[in-house]
Each structure stands twice: as C-alpha cells, then as structure tokens.
Structure 1
C-alpha cells in the first residue's frame, strides 16, 4: 500500500520547493568569512590549538601556532564558542563583525603550547629536551630595569645573582652550575634567532614576548660550540591580525638602601685610633691637627649617608600592534631613566623597536625585527670603596660649599669619596640590532620551507673622562683625560631548510642549517695628562702628553647543523642532532669540532592502556644524551704574541718587542658530555603541573694556563688539560590551589615553586692527580672553594702558655692546628664551608579576587659560606687612616671569643672571618587592580591595570656584611624600591 501517490508527492514538492530555494538563497547570501585571533586575557599571548565553533552548529576550526583562525560562518549574527583545555570557555556574538579578537581566561596552570627551541618552534608536548619558560607576567607586570631580573629565582637550574647594585645592576646568570674552571660560564643569548653579544640591560622587557631556557645537551646541541653553558632564547613581540591595538605602560618609583653596616662614628674612631697606636692616656697625640680640630668642633661625618640619596626610577612604553592577513606589525618605543641611590649613579635608555612580517605571495614571506637603542651612562658615581674607609673626622665640603679636593691636609693622598662627582664624564652606547628573514614555502613539496636569516648587530660606545684640577686625581698632573671609542660589528647569515610532514600517525620534522658569523671589534683612544686649564678639557684642549691606545679583534665562525624530530601517534618522540663548528680563534690543528646529541621521550598518558586518564592528563618521560662545546678563549690566544717595548735610542724613538705568550696550534674547545632524565606531569587538566629533571655532565679538555720553565721569559702556556664533573636535580611545580570558576568575581590562588641543587667537582688538573694550591684547585672538590687558615676563637689569658707555644699571645686570633703537629704553617690551611649553594629555591603566590591581584615572590639561597671582608683586622693601615665597621674587641676586661684585640699584630696571618651567606629574600610584593571593562571603555580603553610593587622589601640572613649576594661588600648597597604603575590597552 502506497502512503503517497506520485501525484500527491508532486503537489508536496510544488509547495515546498519555493521555501527550500528561498532558504538556500538566504543561506548563501548570509554566509560570511570571519578572521580572528585568540589570546590570553591579560597578556595578549596567542592561544594555539583552540577550538572555534559556531554555536548550535557543527561548523568549526582550530587556531594556528599564532592563535589565528579563519572560519566561514552561516550568518553575520551568529555566536562563536571558543574552548581550550586549561581555559574558561568564551562566547562572542559577532553582531556583523568579520575581524575579531577572543580573550580566554586561564583556569589551570597552562604553559605556552608553542615553545621556541632554536631555529624553529615546537609544541610543548613534542619537546624531548629540558626547556623551561618564563612567565610573561614577570616581564610585563613587574618594574624590571634589566631583563635578567625577571629570571631571578623564577626557574629551576637558573642561578641569577645580583653581584652589583646601582642604577644598572650587574647580574650574573649561570645555568646548571659551573663546568669550566677558568673559562666563561655565561650562557649564550639568542634574540629573535640571532646570537646577541650585548648586555641584557639594553633590551626593553616590555618588547619581549617570551623567554625560553635551553638546559640539557639535546636542546642546546643545535648551538654546538657555545652551548655548554646553556642557551637563553629571547623572542620579541610580533604583530597580530586585526585593528591596531595601542598599549601604554609606565611606572615611577623611589629607592633606598636595604642594609648598611654600621661604621664607627667620630668619637669611636678617635678612641679606636688611640688604642691601635698605643697612645695611652694622651689620645690627642694619636690624632692629626685636622682630626683634633674637627673632633673639638663636633664633626661626625657619615660618609655613606653623604654618598647616598633617595633613588628615582621611571619608565614609559608605548606600542602599537595590528595588521591584516598579509601584513602584521609591532612598533614600540620606550624610555627608562634611573637615578641610583649613589650620588652621580644614573642611566638613561631609549629604545625603539619595529617588527614587521609581510606575506608577498602565498609562498614567500619576509620580515624584520629591529631595535635601536641609546643608553647614556654618563657621569661618575661617588666612590663607595672610599666611603666605607673614609675618616669620619673629615668633612666632605670646603668652606665655600665645594667638594673638598684634599679633605685631609696631613694626608693629601686620601681621596674624597665625592671626588668623582667633579669629573667630566661622557659614556654613550648606541646600538642597532636587526634580525631579518626571508621564508620560502617550496612549491609542490608539501611541508618544505627554506629560510634565510640575516642578523646585524652594530654598536658604538663613546667614553671620555676628564679629571680636572678640582679632583684629587687630576691636580697632581694638571688634568688627566681618557678617551676611548669602541666600534663593534657582528653579523650572522643563516640558511635553514626545514621539512615538516605527517604521515598517518608518523610526524617528521627535519631542520638543516648552514651558518656563518663574524665579529669585528675596534678600540681607538688616547690618554692625556697636562692641560693648561679645565675650561675645555678633553673636548678640544691638547694635553702636554698624549698616549694613543688602539686594538683590533676579529673572528669568524662557520657551522653546519642537522636536527631530526620524529613522533609516532603523539606517544613516542625522538630527536637527533649533530652540529659542526669551525672557529678562527682555535689552533691550526683543531679548527673544527663536532657535537652530537640524541633524545627520547614517551607520552605515557597518551597510551590507550594508561589507567589514570581521569586524573593524569600529562605524563611524559624524557631521556637525553649529547655533547656541547665551550668557545672559551679570545681570538689570537693560540698564537705566539709580542708586546710593545719601544724605547729612545738617544733622541731617536726605536721599536722594541718582548715575547709575552707562546703559541699552541692544538688548542680546541672544552667539551661537555651530559645526560638528562626528566619527567613532566600534569594533573586534573593541568591544574597541577610538575617537571622533574636530573642531570650529569662531564667536561674534558679544559682550557687552563699551565706553569712552564721560565727559560723563554714566559712562565705559563694555555693548554687543553683537566676534567670536571657536574650533576644536579631540579623541580618545578605550578598549581591552582583555589579556583571558584568565576570570571571577574571568583577567587583564585595560584602557586609557582621551583627548587634546584647542583654539585660540581674537579676530576683532574694536569694529569698527575696533583692539587694546585696557588689557585685553590683541589682534585675531588668544587671548582670554587674557601681555602684558608681556620679561625678557632681568641687566645685567652688562661691559655697563655699554650698560646706562647704557637707564637701567640692572649687576645690574638687562635688558628686551628688542622694537622695537630703543634705548629701553625701553610699545611694547616683547610677547606671551610662551601661557595656552592646546597640549594636554590623560589616561590610565588598569586591571589586574585574581583579584579584585585596580590602577588608575593620569595626566593632563597642556602648553604653558602663566604669571607666577610668588612671584618678584616688589618685594613685600617698601621697609622689608622681608614675607618672600619663598629664592633667589640677583645680586652682583658671583655675577654670575648669572637674578635681579637685592637692591635696591628693580633691577627698576624690575616685569618679571614667566614660567615653563613645563606638568605631568604622577599623579592617582589605587588598589588594590582584590573579596572572593570565597562569603566575602561569609558576611557576609550579595552583594558586597564594599576599596580604598586615593592622589591627587596625584606631579607632574612645571618650575614653581617653589606649583602650576601653582592660580590663587593664595599660598594653601592642593594636598593629597596617601591613603584607604582599603570598598563592600558586601547
């Protein structure tokens, strides 16, 4: 039985056909193409692999590595639903828009999915080596004068030390400890793919998109001869598709010192001097006329206070980014001005950045990442070494209020700590750093690209200083000048062939490199003395005696590299790398070195049989092994060298030379062979993420200077000898402790913790198992050690007879008889404590509620023992011309056991005083507020944030010196800063 007859069907179609055709036509007319970018809510960081779908349909796509997508939607008023693991879903009504930006808020600990690994990028899940990234918030939402400050204590295995304070802090970076004894341990820095030979202080932190640290042999092997100390990859911000986005960030702040040891005041100094030179009851005879006069007048100069002020800091950044499908741009300008807490200590930095990516055709892209910077370090700071030693009975200014040139007439050699403020000083550094590329997608060969990179780094530094008659330095020679112009040009040319292709469950990624690099450094200058007056100084006046200074240094590198990444079903991963480097600075017999590596990884959580998928979303085990080099010597060190000893033959100048070094054509790279075992763990959709790494490294062919017979007039020669071993363990843990899943109103508490421990030791020095006492190098011990006589207290009156047997008296330093032979001689010197930390750790907690974010960052270094030079007993000179820290001395009435009597002879062997230099520091404490978007929109802004930040607010330590981190304890103190700032995006 037929339900419909042919005639009835025809009638139904006649009725429905117009409606169907109308709907089809309407659908065709309504479909539109939407292009957009998915970014992280506050930082603007692209979100790759996000799912973009049209609500209520099956229409959808995914974002690419730059967070970009293109989607043809059914209608102009549809709603997009954007989702990504670790982020809160976002719904965006189009309302006719065809160019959109979608912002996702993080709900879990999500590290950047796309990671720079050198000569390309990779998904983090595909990485086989040990690579760690800095949180972008530490770059943008903290007042970092130096990029390196953002790394301090933030990453496991990366030891960042503020070794010098001031307007431009001196910051040392060491990755995974020390492998070399005498060669540099600084990591290689690569900016936008080009090796960077400058200071990180010349980079603007707000221009930086990401920083990755390559730590193990597999990840650093692509840099071959320079990778053994680790690699820092810096990637600057790039343009995004969409309408222009203008951002402003700025802050102002003030600074004061965190700690200054108490020095003796005027009366204490006078009493100290009286006792030290045995003046007896008539102490006035111990003082000079100037000291007596000033003591009677109540002069009491705190030279450290005189040399310091309240520091000021300000930075202003403006940037604009945007672009179209074919053109993307980022333009930025920045000004930084810092007046340090030391008088005369200052820097001014201007930077301008232009990053451009242009698609010329579907198969050809070009681009540039260029920064121009101008850093002015002009002006001399007060000399804090002198301020620590300066006599409190002297005055800094004369009767006319000018800086006293000779503050102590009886001792004209003594220099006023403010003397340098009178010097005329210019110091300007201009720099052009440009990384440029041409990328060709090879037609007809899917997945094959060719990239040509060209890097240019041109820097000039003009330094000129004049010490006039109003300075102690210049008055004795009628003015003294020093002028030096430094020009450096580094260039890089790279050809990179990359093939990426997936075959079912197989993925191949091959990178081939041919690279050349060169460097040319020229220094030209002149030193002069004897000027007719101070009016024109070094700028145009000709000195009586001028001595020219000139040098030229050049070197070249040539490299080839191949890297193969293989992945199967996102479960099994392998990386194989080999690099060959040639360096002009090495000996004729060893110009080239080859550095291979291999890495394996297993994504266990992706296995079908994995039993804990409901809780564990990431479980990856990594194993790497390989070799790196340390390009550890300057050019020309392999050649025999002569030094100028020109002389006068009567009235005629004659050339003369003497040998200063012997050549060694066999010199080559130090080579480090290392292995790494790592585990990456993600729990509950990455709400908890942990990374654990353990490593071991062995370095051979150390570049050391070996003592030889002086028959040639030369006492040493550089050779490849010696071995070291290095091992360590690292843990990084990030957690979302509380998350109420709200958007703006919810409470969120996130923690980031890292801890690392490293141990190094010397395995061999000269092949004969002999220690080098002169340099303090010991087989089986760390590279850096404390080796000295050991302080064992103070000889007391009751021990007079025993003290006499050691040639000492009550009140003198008691030295430990280490070998128990009843006498004190050099064989009693021993190792004391360790300069190598037991561990380094950092902890950051962030609390967010209703737009407020409170962040506290604490880091610690534990297990370090150092000599405190401020406690030295023999630094005031025999006639007491220097001040020292205030302390209690041994006397018969006060028989303490911690410090000897006030005498020139109470510490005859100058035994140093060691202290625990461990510390815990509250590095950053910040409070920020994100203005409601409705309020920000009234200002014409899409987002706005205000914040206040305190840095170095508190340090807990047993160290009694200036600071346990600073290398010089008589220098500008570490600053405590309070800063207020604002970030606005329009």
Structure 2
C-alpha cells in the first residue's frame, strides 16, 4: 500500500506525519512514499527541491551526544566552504567562522547569525545546543541577499525546537566528563642540557667579539659569567665550576627538582551538563519548554564557566485565519577568566607564555641555601616571589602567585524574545508581523593584588558594565499561487532594527582593607568613563520564486537598506540576486533511468553588503562623521582632541558573488552529494588611506572605500551509504574545498600596505607572508644566513658573503624581503563515518587541511641563540658546533643572536593537519524492553571532542588564526564525556 507522507525537514531531521513502526524506520524503505521536504530559508521556508541557493544543513541529530559549549563549534567540519578557527580552552569561548573565504580587510568577516527569524546580537554562546532543531548555513548570494547589508560573510539560520501535536514528551539529557589540554607543549631541554647551551653562547660570543682571544680564554670567560647571566645555580657545585670547557661538571647534582611551573597551574578539568525539556501540543497549540545547566572548569586553575538557560516556545492556531506564537529565552552565565593569551601574548601573568618560556633552572618555590624547600605556618610550600632570575625570566614576577591572588570575573544575563502573528488574508495570501527584543547585560570585575605584580604595592580593581539592546520589527506578506504546472511564491516585507550600546568603566587604586575588592575599598580613581552608541537600519525587501512542475526553477530577490553608519545621502544601498535551477532527473529522457534519484543544476549571481564592526571602533557607529576625543583635561581645564577625521562619502563594502553547482543522488540515494564553483568579489573595500603629516589628521590616515579583492574556489560533498540492512549500517561522508584569495585594487598611490608578517599588494592574497628570506646556516662557521637585499648586492662588507654560489648576509638588517607563501590552505574539509550494528552506533568526524603556512612565533621564542633565562626547544640541540656540519640551526652566540632570532621565513612551518574532531559511541535500548517502566527512549553514550591531531610540529596549533600567526594563548581543551538521554 502506498502511503503519502508530509515530512517537514529543518536541517536533515524528518518529522513523520504518520506513525510507522520501528522496524519500518530501520528498514528505511521509503521509496514507495511521496516525500516533501521543507527547508528554512531567509524569512520563510521552501521546498528543498526548488531551492537554487547553496547551503549546508546541521540537524539536531548532529548536535546530540556532543560536549560542545558554543553551538558554533558544531559548524567545524559541517560542510564545504566553511573554515573555523578553533576556540580557546577557556570554558565558554567561541570559535571564529569564515564562509567562503574573506570578504574584508578592515571590517568583520564573521557571518550573520539569525535565530528564529531575527538577527541575534547577544552572542550565540548563550544558546543551549539541546534547544536547537537545526542550523542552516547560507553561502551564496541567492540564499543570503535577502539579508542585504549584513550578509556579505554568509548567514547562519538557527531554528529552535518546537512542540508537536500529540502526546506530551519529557526529555532529559545528562553529560559528565573531564577536560584536559589537547595541544601538547613543545619539547624543551632540561637543566642538565640548559647550562652547557648558555655557556656555549657566552663562549662563542666572546670569540666573535674578540677574534684574537684563545679558546681557553673564551672558555674561562663563559664559565665565570654563566651564573652572572642566569642568576641561579640549581646544582651543588660552585658557579664557576658548573660548566667547564663546555661540559657540565660530572659531580653536579640538583639541589632541588621542583622546577615544573605547570604543576600548580595545569590540572584536569571537570564538565557537567543537564538538560530537561517538555514538549507537546493539542490540535491548536504546541509548546516546548526547557531548562539547561552547564558547569565546566578549565584545565588552567581559576578558569571556569557556569551557564543556566531556559526557553519557552508556544505556537497557537487561535483562529482559522490567525496563528500566533511567542519564543522566550533567558540565560545567565558566570565566568572565572584565566588570561587567555590571545590579547595578552607576552604578559607576565599569561600562564602559557610563562610556563612555555621559563628556563628549566628556576623553581616556583622558595628554598634555603642548601636547597631545602621552605614551608609556611600551614605546611604549604612558599612561592619564591623575590627570586632574581635572568633577563628573559621575569624577575620579581610570579605567574602562579599572581594567578591565585588576582581575580577576573564575568557575569552575563540576557533575555531574548521573539513573537509573531500570522494572518491568512485569502487563499495563498498571508501576512506576518514579527517583533524581537534582545537585551544583554554584561559585567566584569577585576582585582589586581597588592603583594606582587602590576598593582603592587597599592592594589587595584576595575568594574565594567555593558548593556546591549536590540529591537527588530518586520512585516512580511507572502503569496503562493499555482496555475497548472506554474508555481509562484512571492514574499515582500519591511524591517527596522534599533540597536543601543551602553558602556561604563571604572578603575581605582590604593586598597584599604584586605579581602575586599569593591571599588569603595580603593582610594584613587584612575579612570571613570562611559559611552552610549546607537545604530539604526531600515529595510525593504522582496523575493519571487517560480518553478515549472518543480523542474525549471527561478528565483530573484531585492533588498534596500538604510544604515545610520553612513551619511544621509550615502546610507541607502540596494542588494539583489537572481538564481536558476534545472532538475534534470524530472525530464522525460531520464524517466526510465531508475538509478538517478536527483540531478539538479543550479546557479546564482547577486550582491550583498558589509557595514559590520569596523576594526576602528569609532567607525562602527559613526563612519561618516569626524569625531573629537574627550577627557584630555589639565586639572580643572577641559581638554578636547580631534580623534577621527572621516570621509563623508564612505559607504558599504559590496560583495558580488557568482555560484554554479550540481546536486545529485543515485541508486536509491545510496550515493549523493554536490559539487560547485563560486567566485565572490568584494568592491569598495574600506582602507585607511595615508595623509601627509602636515595635514594634522589623527593617525595620519582617513578610512574610505578604495579597494577590491576576490575569493574563488571549488566545493565538493560526497555521501555514501555503503551498507544498509536491518541490523547493520555503514555511512561515509566527506567534503573538500579549495580557496584562492587575491587583492585586485588598493588605494590610489598606495602600492603596498605592510602589517606585521603580511604585505598587501595587488595580485597577492591578504594573508601572504612578507618576510626576510632565510637561507640557512653557513657550514663553515655556523653563521645565520639571509638572502641579500638588492640594495646591498654590490657592496663590500664583512657581513656579506657567497655560500654555494649564492650571495648572502649574516646581518638581518641587510636581508631581502620577499613573499614567502600564504596562511591560506590549498585544500581543507572533513570526513566521517557512521557505523550501526543493531542498537550500537559509532560516529566519528575528522577535519583536515593541506597547504598553507603558519608563522610559529611561539617556537621561534624557544630557539634563541642566546637566552638569558628563557626556555629552549630540544631542536636547539641540533645547532652548529663543528666546521663542515650541515644543519639548519645556527651556532649559539651571544653576539650574533639577534640575527639568528630575527623575524624571517625561518619560522614558517607547514599548516597541514588531520584531526579527530569528535567521536561518539552510543547504545539505544529497544522500546519493547523499557516501555514497561514508562520510558519511551533510553540511550547511553560516550563522546569526545578534540581527541587527536597530527601536525607538522609537536606543540603547533595551525588553526589558531586565519592569518597564520600564533600567540601564547589558552590552547583548546580535549573533552571526554559519559552521557545519558531518556525520554518519557
């Protein structure tokens, strides 16, 4: 018997309109059923078969059994064309996402997040993954253009769960697990290896500075000055006898061995989450309510995150012509923040910088002259906060003590509301009004102790309060009509957005009473400031979808936006798209080709804009206005400075995107996938254009629209159902993407822009490295070698020589700069598998990258040819020591080390990696076995995140940033969890 079903798919999750037996589901024999799938699109829904845009669906099923705190983590590896820079290990942190490359240099490249139909400005970190029904990632202009000026970087549509008509359902999920460091530390030398290496630097440096000196004289100098430089001798022999003639004294033994700074900072973390939801519905009303609790402690002390979420979604068919709904959610969080390192790379209180770079000869604890550990009255080890260390080892600071004494707390509370009323005005004609109100209150409090560190001996505290409010109001008309085989879907609407940002900050010094970090307990107010900013956007939009018998597909959209960021005569922009599709499998000539289930050719072209989040914060709200800076007062005399000079004609960056693709499914959908090509060109890039110093413009530049660039690439997805039977199933999925980024126009008269390790030029990508060209090591004397800059090629100097027929220099200031590869990969993607045997299932997902380079400054800091208390990589053991030796590590030398350590292409390393991003093993109990206990579903599972990775170098984190640079940041955490899901 043929059964007709309607299945609404949001993501890839199917809700069956009629109940089928568990055996029928297991058999997956749906070829006798007519299936209609509906997917979420901008401002509505659409049959999947008639969609001409490019998108990626992430269903609730893919979020289950994963220990993710931020739902953006689920985007990693979800589909082609999506790059993710992994979040830090700080609990609650969020990753960065790029969709089809990079649309801007000085504006945001983050996608627009839309939750239940309205932009979500309060941060997706506060969305509970268990409340999510699906995420749809819109990539091309046909999919995104209806969001106009906010859609240049793609759009992520998030739909939360709703109730279903029928019996009420209670669902409970619990996970508990541990967190630990996922990225291993670089290998570093120990104390026995360390002293001879520094001795060697001193000896070689003396000989370089004193060419006529004998080896014996240089050796004696190094032995006599070794501890003078390092300030500490952890061995039981006299300082000048510790290293003799380059050899550690064989009679030396350690006075104490507690030299590990990580022991008191790094530990196992703990993670637990509990989620309860209740859903159901009558013929007229459906409801979904949930509450969730998450508590995660990081693997660094005093880093944790606690979040409580709640949600209520109600939809009611009040009348035949009226449907209303409300979507309310609230969340609160508390974070104990470690120094993440990304914004405090070299800070003395950065635990990652400190523990990585601290030489292996300094103990965090105090000892007496004989090396005995000192204890306080409570029997605890005393931290040595008065230690004198070498110049590279931060004397007078102590990361453990300061971490324990300092405080950095963040609290957030937010409310998000969505409500709508849908009116059926006539057959096929509906009108919908949507109102969204989002408010987020953020508070941060810090305390810097008065015993040791930046605020000693006074102590200091700060308070920050930020309130964000957004009101979104839109009215949408939709008309659907069919004439025979001609189907029309017309949508039109108006939207207004009002955003208010309020900021308050206060900082005081001079602590009065101990154990009180409220501002009233401090004497001197050092800073007190506040700020209020406003942003408005008004929009009108329309879309027409047409299909002929669901075979020939056409789509067109247009949107006009007015943004308060720009001048009245420049603030309105029009964005549009056109798309077409051809479902070849619907043609008569394929009617008898049974193995073809789907074959669609689609293409689109359109324009969207970008006015989001300038790198210069003042431009974010008042891009066209010149601004003055207040607060430059002299006692009672007011002071005002010109802070920003703007271009009154500044306007949007525009993204023009072309996309063509093929979707296919063969052999009863056992093989399916897609392949597509895209090119997205950004015009009117905003750059800071230099001005003469004499003009008196702050920063000597004015931001204006003066650049162009493009991204292009190929994306492919393949899904294989290898085995499909009652008891056993095996599915494979893989995706791959290429990307090429290139600048095609820069400001007039400005042929290059150099910023750190990058140089922007026409014909190059925004992430191409511009570095001194490292040549290697001279086998004759171990000198560091660079290619010579052309300006010095015909000069004579002792620091220029010819090696292997190549003109090189030992002086980094004369080195040639050139392009040295790119941070952008040549190929990236993911692959995974699902195995099912009876009630047992295994899911895995790997991510990978081929090509691209990382500038590993973290490693560079461990390869100094002359360290004065800093740590050294074990690779330094391969340094040059003997004439004729072939190596890539220069000689240790206290005189020439600046050239050896200089920023250059030496520190580039391949970014290739493969990572087991997530895996889960689950057992689902048969309903027949548990129904007698009133349980409708029961599942036990174990899962892991960031389980394993293989990189070019131990300690390397190649996906730390899109621009390929590294920092001493809080590296990602590995999470192992045990979970339970039960449904009543």
What TM-score, normalized by structure 1, do the two folds share?
A: 0.85
Corresponding residue SS for 1:963: coil
> Does structure 2 retain, via aligned residues, the 8 Å contact 1:307–1:418?
no
Q: Give 1:73's aligned residue.
A: none
- 1:794 equivalent to 2:777? Answer yes
- 1:534 equivalent to 2:458? Answer no
Q: Give 1:758's aligned residue.
A: 739
* Distance in 2 separating the partners of 1:473 and 1:983: 49
Q: 1:39 to 1:713 in 2, by over 3 A?
A: closer
- 1:574 equivalent to 2:542? Answer no
Match of 1:285 among 227, 234, 246: 227
Q: State the number of aligned residues.
A: 895
1:727-766 map, 5 Å: 727-740=712-725, 742=726, 746-766=727-747
> Does structure 2 retain, via aligned residues, the 8 Å contact 1:706–1:718?
yes
TM-superposed deviation, 1:328: 0.5
Match of 1:931 among 901, 917, 925: 925
> Does structure 2 retain, via aligned residues, the 8 Å contact 1:460–1:486?
yes
Match of 2:887 among 877, 881, 897: 897
* Distance in 2 separating the partners of 1:291 and 1:145: 46
Q: Give 2:759's aligned residue.
A: 776
Q: Give 1:406's aligned residue.
A: 385
TM-superposed deviation, 1:511: 0.7
Q: Which moved more, 1:930-939 or 1:905-914?
A: 905-914
- 1:642 equivalent to 2:625? Answer no
TM-superposed deviation, 1:260: 1.4
* Distance in 2 separating the partners of 1:647 and 1:823: 47
TM-superposed deviation, 1:598: 0.5
Corresponding residue SS for 1:167: coil
- 1:220 equivalent to 2:162? Answer no
Match of 2:936 among 924, 937, 942: 942
What do the CA deviations read for 1:796-821 (whole angstroms, capped 9, x no partner)? 217989999986779x9999979x99
Q: Give 2:200's aligned residue.
A: 275
* Distance in 2 separating the partners of 1:558 and 1:748: 51
Q: Give 2:576's aligned residue.
A: 596
Corresponding residue SS for 2:759: coil
Q: Give 1:392's aligned residue.
A: 360
TM-superposed deviation, 1:245: 0.2
> Does structure 1 retain, via aligned residues, the 8 Å contact 2:187–2:954?
no
* Distance in 2 separating the partners of 1:816 and 1:364: 84
What's the Cα RMSD here?
A: 3.2
Q: Please list every run of 5 or more consecutive structure 2 residues that lacks an aligned counterpart in the other structure.
A: 204-220, 237-252, 340-349, 367-374, 615-619, 789-794
> Does structure 1 retain, via aligned residues, the 8 Å contact 2:663–2:673?
yes
TM-superposed deviation, 1:566: 0.8
Q: Give 1:248's aligned residue.
A: 172
- 1:454 equivalent to 2:448? Answer no
Q: 1:296 to 1:460 in 2, by over 3 A?
A: same
Q: Give 2:98's aligned residue.
A: 174
Q: Give 1:143's aligned residue.
A: 67
Q: Give 1:185's aligned residue.
A: 109
1:810-849 map, 5 Å: 828-849=816-837
Corresponding residue SS for 1:699: strand
Q: Give 1:430's aligned residue.
A: 413
Q: Between Structure 1 and Structure 2, whose CA radius of gyration is higher?
A: 1
> Does structure 2 retain, via aligned residues, the 8 Å contact 1:851–1:930?
yes
Corresponding residue SS for 1:304: coil
Q: 1:817 to 1:127 in 2, by over 3 A?
A: farther
1:263-342 map, 5 Å: 263-278=188-203, 279-282=221-224, 285-286=227-228, 291-292=233-234, 296-342=254-300
Q: 1:807 to 1:849 in 2, by over 3 A?
A: farther
Q: Which moved more, 1:446-455 or 1:678-687?
A: 678-687
Q: 1:277 to 1:432 in 2, by over 3 A?
A: farther
Q: Please list every run of 5 or more consecutive structure 1 residues that lacks an aligned counterpart in the other structure.
A: 1-34, 48-66, 70-79, 91-102
- 1:785 equivalent to 2:764? Answer no
> Does structure 1 retain, via aligned residues, the 8 Å contact 2:772–2:815?
no
- 1:584 equivalent to 2:542? Answer no
TM-superposed deviation, 1:291: 4.6
4+ aligned runs moved over 6 Å, structure 1: 35-40, 106-112, 798-806, 812-818, 820-827, 874-879
Q: 1:460 to 1:808 in 2, by over 3 A?
A: farther
> Does structure 2 retain, via aligned residues, the 8 Å contact 1:43–1:137?
no
TM-superposed deviation, 1:971: 2.5
- 1:703 equivalent to 2:686? Answer yes
> Does structure 2 retain, via aligned residues, the 8 Å contact 1:420–1:471?
no
Corresponding residue SS for 2:356: helix
What TM-score, normalized by structure 2, do the two folds share?
A: 0.85
* Distance in 1 separating the partners of 2:451 and 2:811: 53
> Does structure 2 retain, via aligned residues, the 8 Å contact 1:315–1:335?
yes
Match of 1:858 among 846, 854, 860: 846
> Does structure 2 retain, via aligned residues, the 8 Å contact 1:376–1:429?
yes
* Distance in 2 separating the partners of 1:808 and 1:533: 63
TM-superposed deviation, 1:172: 0.9
Q: 1:358 to 1:640 in 2, by over 3 A?
A: same
1:485-564 map, 5 Å: 485-538=465-518, 540-564=520-544
> Does structure 2 retain, via aligned residues, the 8 Å contact 1:432–1:458?
yes
* Distance in 1 separating the partners of 2:798 and 2:275: 64
Corresponding residue SS for 2:504: strand
